[in-house]
Structure 1
């Protein structure tokens, strides 16, 4: 990574810590680690954001145009060979390509990359998306390297998934049971491709120092954070809820910046009357299906409708 602003490897070794971010290449996951990178880099810590140049640069341009100028962002071409070979095919009944992200060479290439950094820095910290566990599974053999798993969902979601998979047991505190029983089952929630992808991640070797949540006790409720930790739901009792990561920028008084019109529209609606529907970056629909879905939703809602 010769374009880093510090060229002297010995200087790194004596005083520097490097942080390597490993996001899942999907928009909602890319952004979370991108926001976290901004916080880390604010402490003058070099950050290496590992991923495909195409999605990561798009995220930067679209969400953090100025805040990321301080990040030593090296968009290492680790996953680009895989991602660029996946054309979007809206006629394909299998709308997810998660299984194509898992390739043995990705893990090997990443290990070599981190090994190179570990020889130039006194300490290397890897923060990886849980759904990239396969990629980072071998770095535990590097003595001056440690890893932390980023959970891109709240502790409540992690615990509810575990509770569902365990057959909805009764050994849950009463204050949690009432809420958990209102959650629909997971049948049909994930595509077969994504389930296959998750199984690979779950089966990967996990040597990590703890979990990081893009959440807080005020948002997630300390109750579920404590449950996940005490019962070691993810394999560790060490977790840190240090979110939300996304930056909040307050407009200057008298400035020309205005709110987006959709927020003004939202303010005019009555409470509990709006449903927000969003498609992920791994979803694709043909124009015909897209049109039919939109019209069907409008007719079914029988109410005000924004698109």
Structure 2
């Protein structure tokens, strides 16, 4: 969770008095620009909630596509509405003619079409902001926000949704695996990050886009990743300021504390069942909030878990998708599946190995 030192970006403007004037202008406004994909939406959403609940006189604007806006708005259900009354969502539409055939199946470049709409929104918000428009953008959205330098009262911060160790290892590979700190020799033991050629091209364009930023925010904590946050300064400095803040780990627990959700709501029966199981005896299978499975895939997974004869609970997202524009659909599914077919037997063997073998016990002990 963010510490007072982590919030200096906005705290130093609080001493200048009331943020919102009678004419509706704000001394400081914050705009969040997440990369529209799984793993990137929630961290910035939780940061937006943290800021809006802690600084209720600062407008916070969360910007993405209409489809992703619907997703993230559904995730704030249960948050205290009074604490996020200054949190605003913008679903920016992209003209269909901007998507030229043939469509890229991985759609990494689909987010580029948000550049114009995001710039127009930044100009609009800047016009009603007296002192500063703070732009917090996902590191994969540098291309989209690059025009902010032409707006005089902006201050930009890059945001990484992932750990400092992952960021360092990723940049280390991109730089050709140069000689590293002795403490990081373990990276040599990790599997190589295999990226699709189109994604590598996408990353080169992002890293080659200059944004005059004031620093980088990490979804991390110094208590957990202190050394790695220091190590990552050098590769981060390649793209601008080496000032970094650890503002995580970001999760919704702090927002739910003030929730007005009816305490009489019954618990899901899965939670009651879990309470009755022995510690470390249940495996949780989750495919994330943005992954959908076909009926056949769900069936294969269920058979594999059943045949493993181990206690397990599975989380599957219920999805209703009607009339989603092509671009948004591609953006929502930009991680192209690898040509690997997993059978129910594979699942059975993997679960048994994890839950009922000496090697699996060692793995679970390391995870505790």
**Quick check: which one's strand share is greater?**
2
**1:3 aligns to what?**
none
Q: 2:267 & 2:91 partners in 1: Cα distance?
A: 38
1:247 matched to which residue of 2? 252
Match of 2:231 in 1: 227
Structure 1 residues 115, 74: closer, same or farther in 2, change over 3 A? same
From the superposition, tell whether residues 286 and 279 of structure 1 become closer, same or farther in structure 2 (CA, over 3 Å).
same
Indicate which of 130, 133, 136 corresponds to 1:127. Answer: 136
Tell me the alpha carbon deviations over residues 154-204 of structure 1, each in whole angstroms, 9 at most, x when there is no partner: 1111111122223322232x22213x12211112xx334433332332222
Rounded to whole Å, the distance in 2 between the matches of 1:285 and 1:277 is 11
5+ long unaligned stretches in structure 1: 1-5, 86-91
1:153 counterpart = 2:157: no
Q: More deviation in 138-147 or 199-208?
A: 199-208
Residue in 2 that maps onto 1:18? 29
Q: How does 1:1-307 map to 2 (within 5 A)?
A: 10-12=23-25, 16-42=27-53, 43-44=55-56, 45-67=58-80, 70-79=84-93, 81=95, 96-103=106-113, 106-122=114-130, 123-172=132-181, 174-178=182-186, 180-187=187-194, 190-219=195-224, 221-230=225-234, 232=237, 234-248=239-253, 249=256, 258=267, 261=270, 264=274, 268=278, 270=280, 278=287, 281=290, 288=296, 291=300, 293=342, 295-301=344-350, 303=352
1:51 and 1:80 in contact (8 A); partners too: no
Which of these two proteins has the greater Rg computed from alpha carbons?
Answer: 2
The Cα of 1:256 is off from its aligned counterpart by 6.7
Q: Secondary structure at the match of 1:65?
A: coil
Query: Displacement, 1:260?
Result: 7.3
Label 1:95 to 1:287 Cα distance change in 2 as closer, same or farther (>3 A).
Answer: farther
C-alpha contact 1:102 1:197 (8 A) present in aligned 2: no
Q: In the alignment, is the contact (CA less than 8 A) between 1:47 and 1:71 conserved in 2?
A: no
Instruction: Classify 1:255/1:9 alpha carbon distance in 2 versus 1 (closer, same or farther; 3 Å).
Output: closer
2:63–2:89 contact (8 Å) kept in structure 1: yes
What residue ranges of structure 2 are gaps of 5+ in the alignment? 1-18, 301-340, 356-368
TM score, norm. by length of structure 2: 0.64
CA contact (8 A) 1:19 1:47 kept: yes
Contact kept in structure 1, 2:69 and 2:90, CA below 8 Å:
no
Contact persistence 2:43–2:251 (CA under 8 A)? yes
Encode CA deviations 1:231-254: one digit per residue, 9 max, x unaligned: 5255431010011221224699x9
Q: Distance in 1 between matches of 2:227 and 2:247?
A: 16
Question: In the alignment, is the contact (CA less than 8 A) between 2:32 and 2:61 conserved in 1?
Answer: yes
TM-score (structure 1 length as normaliser): 0.76
Give, in whole Å, the separation in 1 of the partners of 2:81 and 2:139. Answer: 23
Instruction: State the distance in 2 between where 1:48 and 1:11 align.
Output: 15
